Amino acid sequence: MKTWIFKTFAIATLSASFLMAQTSTSTAPTPPTVAQIVANLVARLTTLLTLTSSQQTEATTIFTTEQTALATIRTSMQTAQTALQTAITGSDAAGITAAATQIGTLTTQQVEAQAAAAVAFYAILTSTQQTQYASLKQFGLGLGGPGFGGPGGPGGGPGPGH
């Protein structure tokens, strides 16, 4: 009987320790900062295209400007998407038109910011690097430009032109 009580106590103690070790966190992970996104992107491009330190500095400036603009656009886009959903559930045709127009304008701003960054980045590359860059984009490696990566698109992450 004592052995059974001891075994039961031991199992209960071990089970409790395992349960305590499994902490549940309900907080979402912190999204990367603009600086982290840009640093990761420049590091990846440096590996793929053998960027010089001068090119890395210029690329960091280009993509920081781009990502800062895109962050603002994303915030406005979330607001517009919420307004669209509200208009849909409220059967508000004028609200749908207004939200759709705003989403269209924000999408244009996003494409412009991405294209401006892609143009500026492409301009700092040597002709050999430009050829490499073009071939990387051809294979859809999420390295930029409209149609490459972005939310829901192939490539799935920030890159030149994202």
Reading the chain (162 residues) residue by residue, the pLDDT tens digits are 555 554 555 555 555 555 555 555 568 899 899 999 999 999 999 999 999 999 999 999 999 999 999 999 999 999 999 999 999 999 999 999 999 999 999 999 999 999 999 999 999 999 999 999 988 887 766 555 443 334 433 334 444 444
pTM of the model: 0.68
111/115 Cα distance (integer angstroms): 6
Instruction: Write out the two tokens for 126.
Output: 């040597």
44/35 Cα distance (integer angstroms): 14
Contact 133, 122 (CB under 8 A): yes
26/24 Cα distance (integer angstroms): 6
Q: What is the pLDDT of residue 31?
A: 87
92/116 Cα distance (integer angstroms): 36
Give burial (CB, 10 Å; 0-12/13-18/19+) of 108. Answer: exposed
